[in-house]
Chain A
């Protein structure tokens, strides 16, 4: 049914060689700096509006959520397409989410609170809006800190993976933070919630499916190692 050119192209994408993946990754690395470059450009050109601090905070906040969504999309996308090299981009996207979150939090610490730690602490304790946002950020710190290959080895794949499931909490807390910020127009938080909800649901559904007897073999394979599990799934499809 599919034209031969397309199926050939798809097969090529599915089995990209290491060098090409590195090049794709390098190109995406530069692309992910676009929000920052854009903010800087607008800053110099006087395009950040009457309240530049608020503009920077809003945009870095949404970019953090955007990158979290991209990060969480990698695994489902890989499963659907069979493009297993996608997983090699995941860490970079996750770190970009952290990067924009840092800018987001620094504007609050510095420009709003003047690094007055007492005031910041009182704000966090008193206001769920701040607390949930701060929780989301704090949970990202250990994930960013253990993102290197060395840390993966030191923790061991299984423990590392368990720790990094905290990203689900990061995303949930982040989107709740967004909800509580809004005065009345919930359109955007709702869109973000729907996307993040779907990405988390995909995992729940998969887990539920995987625990059934029919999938015992693939679970076995999953325990044996990620590569094995992936191959198993590739065959099952």
Chain B
């Protein structure tokens, strides 16, 4: 199963490595990890996505809670949260493919941020499953390079 953890941590040197180290040491997977300051500059928010069986996901939450630098751990449910990820990719094009690529971008709400004579940089801000399908669709056109931020998420209020 998938576990999405929203973790508030002290914004201090070494906290990221301590948290990531915990995953490595205990053999937990990190599917993605995104970290940034919150509105309080002393606190950072880490969004960690992991997979494992129920006991593992449960242990991750407990082990994170045990860390002194961890202020709060929340386990987010995908349907009850807004999950977003930013994707950037450089795609090669020619006169025949350009139009098709643009069309896909339009349908999926992706934005072309830069164009050169041979390639364009596309950005897409969407939920992880849309990002995945966008990559699949663009793949045949020739992805030169690609970067993803990893998921960040917030829980919806009732």
| B is a partner of A | no
Residues of A within 8 A of B (CB): none
